Amino acid sequence: MTQDRSKGEVWVFAEQEEGCLGDVPRELLGKGRELADRLGVPLAAVLLGDGVESLAAELFAAGADKVHLVEDPELKVFRGKAYRHAFVELIREEAPQIVIFGATHMGRDLAPAIASALRCGLTADCTDLQIGSYTDPKTKEEFDGILQQIRPAFGGNIIATIVNPRHWPQMATVREGVMKPLEPVPGRKGEIVRHDSHLAGVDIPVEVLEIVRRHSSVNLKGARIIVAGGAGVGSKENFRLLFDLAEALGGAVGASRAAVDLGYCEHERQIGQTGVTVRPALFISCGISGAVQHLAGMQDSAKIIAINTDRDAPIFKVANYGIVGDLNVVVPRMIKAIKGQA
């Protein structure tokens, strides 16, 4: 490839399931818009599937200048090899400089395989992306306009900034719920560019027999108020209290990994590095000590109330209000006070 890669587009992978885009592509386009504007290049969404052209309008409204569209019956349902093959060919043809994916199950399956095929770098689970410079500490060679891939590492105890200045494209997966989508602009126009899937004659070794969707009643990302419990809640029965508090406030119930591992509540309620990232207006933390992995998923909440018996628990370091006490006493008092206000 002879093109100057620094003129390449910024791409985001617009993952869809059953013809629906979900929140992730819009979050990626929000960040992608910022990166593309900074570099002065177009922002494009990559849309793979079968009969999905109508989704392009949503992607334009969310900030894309262009949609690279690949339609093929083989791409109807996500299968790693088919998606990888089509995506790799598209990157070879179009030479984008940056490609970002959601750190979803699909993105974390697809992105590594693409990076492996193209022998380029990939940073997983970024919590921020910026454009900046890099100086090679050995050769002193300087690189400008490089993607700074920022991610927690080592169990969330450090934040690393990763760059790959000599390999193209620069790729990253981005944690769900971390980037902010733009306010949609209905009717915003863009260009649809159709591409061949290059899948003719490619053997796909996987047949999808059945998909059972979990119809989750839990919507932590959209909740304005979250009441979350940890190991300190002590039992599944005690967790009911948190549901009562959430109900009184019109909020949702979340949990730390410890509480999920102890079986106090379902996995889909897990908040933190290996769960959901949330930023509600109010986060009430009950019996959570505050491991860094958990804090990574909630510390950007606008207001945090921490209830814990241990005065030295790290959770108090990120809290705005701290109550040192037994949640089994404090939570009922809180419910009573809220009901008294109503």
Partner 1 sequence: MKNKGYHSVVCIKQVPDTKKVTGEAMKADGTINRAALPAIFNPEDKCALEAALRVKEKCGGTVSVVTMGLPKACDILRVALMCGADRAYLLTDRRAAGSDTLATSYILSRAVGSLKPDLVFCGRQAIDGDTAQVGPQIAEKLDFAAITYLEDIEMDGDHAIVTRDIGTGVEKDRVKLPALFTVTDRFGELRPMDVRRVMKYKRAKAPVENGGVAMEGDLAITQLSCDDVGCESDRCGFAGSPTNVNKIVSVVLAGGDFKEIPASEEGVRGLVAELVADHTIG
Q: Write out the binding residues for partner 1, residues 172-201 only, by CB under 8 A.
A: none
Provide the minimum distance between the beta carbon of 249 and partner 1 in the complex, in angstroms, as a whole number.
6
Question: Which is nearer to partner 1, 40 or 137 (by Cβ)?
Answer: 137
List binders of partner 1 among 247-266 (CB under 8 A).
Answer: 249
Cβ atoms of 136 and 165 closer than 8 Å: yes
Question: Which is nearer to partner 1, 194 or 222 (by Cβ)?
Answer: 222
List binders of partner 1 among 319-338 (CB under 8 A).
Answer: 319-326, 329-330, 333-334, 336-338
- 80, with CB counted inside 10 A (0-12, 13-18, 19+), is middle
Binding segment (CB under 8 A) for partner 1, from list 33-41, 50-58, 155-163, 183-191: 155-163
> Of 25, 96, 152, 272, which lies in the binding site for partner 1, with binding defined by CB under 8 A?
152
Which among 331, 301, 319 is positioned nearest to 239, based on CA atoms?
331
143, 145, 150, 153: CA torsion to nearest 10: -20
Binding segment (CB under 8 A) for partner 1, from list 25-33, 145-153, 192-200, 233-241: 145-153
List binders of partner 1 among 280-299 (CB under 8 A).
Answer: 281-282, 291-292, 295
Provide the minimum distance between the beta carbon of 228 and partner 1 in the complex, in angstroms, as a whole number.
16
- The contact pattern for partner 1, residues 212-251, with x = CB under 8 A and - = no contact, is xxx----------x-----------------------x--
Question: Which is nearer to partner 1, 111 or 179 (by Cβ)?
Answer: 111
Distance of CA 134 to the CA centre of its chain: 26
List binders of partner 1 among 59-98 (CB under 8 A).
Answer: 78, 80-81, 84
Provide the minimum distance between the beta carbon of 289 and partner 1 in the complex, in angstroms, as a whole number.
11
State the number of binding residues for partner 1 (CB under 8 A).
Answer: 86
Query: Helix (H, G, I), strand (E, B), or coil: what is residue 228?
Result: strand
What CA–CA distance (Å, rounded) separates 82 from 223?
Answer: 36
Question: Which is nearer to partner 1, 193 or 281 (by Cβ)?
Answer: 281
Tokens 């009430």, residue? 284
| DSSP track, 289-320 | ---HHHHTTTTT-SEEEEEES-TT-THHHH-S
Q: Which helix (H) or strand (E) holds 36?
A: helix 24-39
Provide the minimum distance between the beta carbon of 2 and partner 1 in the complex, in angstroms, as a whole number.
20
Which among 202, 228, 210 is positioned nearest to 327, based on CA atoms?
228
Question: Which is nearer to partner 1, 164 or 285 (by Cβ)?
Answer: 164
Pair type for strands 128-135 and 122-126: unpaired
Cβ atoms of 322 and 302 closer than 8 Å: no
269 is written with which tokens? 């309620």
- The contact pattern for partner 1, residues 91-120, with x = CB under 8 A and - = no contact, is -------------xxx-xx-xxx-xxx-xx
Tokens 């689970």, residue? 125
213 is written with which tokens? 């969707």
Provide the minimum distance between the beta carbon of 69 and partner 1 in the complex, in angstroms, as a whole number.
23
> Of 40, 210, 217, 237, which lies in the binding site for partner 1, with binding defined by CB under 8 A?
210
Which among 68, 185, 168, 86 is positioned nearest to 119, based on CA atoms?
168
List binders of partner 1 among 23-62 (CB under 8 A).
Answer: none
- Phi, psi values for residue 137, rounded to 5°: -65, -25
Provide the minimum distance between the beta carbon of 41 and partner 1 in the complex, in angstroms, as a whole number.
21
Provide the minimum distance between the beta carbon of 72 and partner 1 in the complex, in angstroms, as a whole number.
19
325 is written with which tokens? 């006490």
Greatest pairwise CA separation for the chain in angstroms: 70
Provide the minimum distance between the beta carbon of 16 and partner 1 in the complex, in angstroms, as a whole number.
11
Cβ atoms of 136 and 49 closer than 8 Å: no
Provide the minimum distance between the beta carbon of 188 and partner 1 in the complex, in angstroms, as a whole number.
28
